[in-house]
Structure 1
């Protein structure tokens, strides 16, 4: 088996402290950990995981390992891996291939390494049985470079909106060779993780990295999906005047009725002090838009890939470039104005902060665990399609979350059940 490829094992104690902190604040995963220890459902099962490698993800890995899984782990962004957390996981005996600020070549190597779980008696490399992905990087590698490992894969789970978009495109083209559960689309994921988690963590990152006030500023939010709704809502709560840009007329109407101004990015560019993109698309904020912006405008991206802000064209056309603050790069444009970009235009809440709160990821990662169980129990009859998370899983997680909070809710009486399922009233 390959050796771990991490930064420094001496960092493990710091990482262990972080993992224990989130563990104490993730009651759903703690419950699953105890269940998995008793039942060992993943004994002999090989799981490859690529998710932002910080403390909450590390605890997810430990929960799956408690169920018997052979875990092979990497990150899902070149800037989001926390080296001390990677070291703490490696110290448990887990296979870990990730470090902070990897080059793209190193990142791609780590993705490939995480897909290999040793060799069989004949020397053939063993692939994963289950893939847990964030942005579909593992799946992309399996379908393009490591097709030899596909026969080992029963299926997988995708964490992000961007990843589900890629998977659905693969399915439409007939290219998807394994069943994939759209974890992102579960109610207990996108309604809470994407909205409340992104909303809080994006502004946590922007505020800690800029040390500037949000109140009184004009904030431009690109997109009005679940993530963007959370970003806009939290910006408004912080006292900002919020502008939304959209391409979907229905979402645009919703943004207006939620109390936000809606306009094109070209119209918004001269007005914004802070711009945040969260669309899942590319070239959302272009250099032509930047030329219209105020001097020292701040740009951040909350989409999975660093393509929403056109960084390639910005690097090409900037006449000067310098670090203006840790995690912030300033670019001087041809008109003399400076544009400040946080975290290289990468996912701002995790590339330059700690990501979503532990209580939010408790729900999302509980969906991941139960979806992995679904793959384990049903893979022999699943088609190579993108599969919705069952309502049963969503309801189970929601009930457990309420129990953890000590909250009781009403239940339908038999009379009410009959009424709701009757047509001849």
Structure 2
């Protein structure tokens, strides 16, 4: 699969393209008509467009050795072992442009591949400095506009050993074979890997005045902070994830223990902001972002956990204020009521966004052609800076990000 790329307004765009894929029906789809699943699960188009797609044969159900007739697809509920076939006209969201088109077209040139900095490479590993604003691997609406697919264009078939959020930049270790991937993932799982991140947060971080503020930071100066236990602040609070696509209580994941240590690096008085060194001791989703916000120092440009910027403030508060929904003492009825409020908040935001869109739609699939992506929402002041294991077999570090000053 390939598609044409163009750059505009600081964004890397993929020209829409057709693709076919099929998959077994997920358990939560069983018992529901395909139209209901498409409308609720994907939310890329409205019910009318999905209905047209079913009638035109772009969405099918294979049951046993045959495809169901269109009328049966519309009327019969999905069953276990059904195969859902989709021919979609993909409108991938844009990602943040990290280099020029000429630089991206080049393979390895002066320590870069596709315009992305190479930190280290051998026969088993490729370590890069991931730009902010691009997903690591295909997920959701993203496929070609992902780091692994871009590297594949340059002949690098690699698998990430851990995930970084789309908006997070920094050190990404990728394996060229499954053996080394499993070895690194096991080290991370048993906490035999020290991970250090840099963040820029709002406010005067605890103990920040005990470190110099008027010096240009170096790698060595930042690393010294972690050698001073008296500077450490720790957050130890559970974290759970939320999936509004699922019903209550399945949409609430089990709460899991999470702990992060923080060290002050530098205070910026004019902006009342701080640079913080972050050492996660567990590996939960959005752990650093959540713990900084719970501590009262959210990342400056976090468009979810910084409540001044959040599009979904009720959802953000729910995840920040409720460390463990199982231990909260709230009865199931109250949790269900809160879950319903979060669903309503999402619907209200989607309706508000659709009212602000233009009337231009795609002639092929009916998708709205207005772009909801804003460039400033594709960068987060959180950077994976250094990874090392206890035996020092793996020890990688990136450059300090520009926003640190």
The TM-score range, normalised by the shorter chain, is under 0.3
- Bigger fraction of residues in strand: 2
Give the structure-1-normalised TM-score: 0.27
- Bigger fraction of residues in helix: 1
